[in-house]
Amino acid sequence: MSTDPVRTVGDVGEGELIDLFAGPDAIDDTDAGVLIGPGDDAAVLAGGGPVVVSTDALVDGQHFRLDWSTPGQVGAKAIVANAADVMSMGGRVTGFVVSLTCPKDLRVDTLVGLRDGMRSAARRYGAQVVGGDLTTGNQLVIAVTAIGAMDSRSPVRLSTAREGDVLAVSGELGASGAGLDLLLAGVPGFTSLVTAHCEPSPHLSLAAGAASAGVHAMTDVSDGLLSELRTMARQSGHAMHVDPSRVPVVPELAAAAAALHTDPLRWVLGGGEDHELLASFPAGVVPVGWTAIGTVTRRGGGPPVVVTGIDDVDLDLGWRTF
């Protein structure tokens, strides 16, 4: 079909739009894991063992803005957020299903950009977009379901963090939150921080090695470090002690904080959407590529999360949906 940028989804029929996602180039035929891809009533994936499933929705104006991000970046971000959930469970992503709600005035080239961003990001994790749905609505909504396999491994759960474990992260934290605040304030520059927000690129490949090393608990930092630690503490019944000075950050973070007259620690502890991994390892077995930032201790009667150097930490820091 024509992808003339002045055309909108309201100008073309549903069949033509579906062809954008279900055409001959939709699936790599060499992928033995996909038996039936887009075009039928449902996709069929090879398998036989436990299946990992996670879903997430991104809403225009709430989770992304097309005046900040390219359509390709938005599409990639939607895939990354869901891949992180599957991989933090120790799973291997096998496919993605995407449901798009599109306003009638959405340009066709925007839809093509979303598609290309999703496909590119999915391939990064060894998977493909295998199906989905298109409908119309008042605003653009991207709902992605990620499907994965455990490959004979046991799922890595939040509840199995143990007293004496070492807490570690897979990469720098705070960059996405800083990028968002810079965009909101209209401050130019700081390209790496803005890119970290618009198109996060977390070190999710470290998840498989963590699972093989005997990781006890793992999650991705989507809602902010404190939020994820609070959840891990609640699920496991233990306390989480973290030293913020040990959390890796990008070099631009301090300068961005100075430009916005704020404390960079707010982004390190409360900034979300970095999608780096947070894990609880047995002492002495933290794999290469991870940075130790704290420990798991007995809860007792104290707070669920203790931050070194901060007596009265705001545990509500982080993304809140409602």
Residue pair 317/270 in contact (Cβ under 8 Å)? The answer is: yes
Please, what's the b/e burial string for 51-72 (b: 16 or more CB within 10 A of its CB; e: otherwise)?
A: ebebebebebeebbebeebbbb
Alpha helices in 2-70 (DSSP H): 14-22
Q: Which residues are annotated as a binding site for Mg(2+)?
A: 41, 54-56, 85, 133, 220, 223
The two structure tokens encoding residue 260: 């916005």
User: How far apart (Å, rounded) are the C-alpha atoms in residues 103 and 9?
Assistant: 8
Residue pair 269/223 in contact (Cβ under 8 Å)? The answer is: no
Backbone angles phi, psi at 24, to 5 degrees: -60, -25
> Rounded to the nearest 10 degrees, what angle do helices 71-88 and 108-124 cross at?
30
Alpha-carbon dihedral of residues 39, 55, 152, 161, nearest 10 degrees? 170
Residue pair 206/290 in contact (Cβ under 8 Å)? The answer is: yes
Q: Which residues are annotated as a binding site for substrate?
A: 63, 273, 319
Q: Which residues are annotated as a binding site?
A: 41, 54-56, 63, 85, 132-133, 220, 222-223, 273, 319
| Chain-centre distance for alpha carbon 153 | 22
| Chain-centre distance for alpha carbon 56 | 9
Rg (CA), the chain: 20
Q: Which residues are annotated as a binding site for ATP?
A: 132-133, 222
What are 222's strand-pairing partners?
none
Backbone angles phi, psi at 278, to 5 degrees: -120, 125
* Three-state SS annotation for 208-253: HHHHHCCCCEEEECCCCHHHHHHHHHHHHCCEEEECHHHCCCCCCH
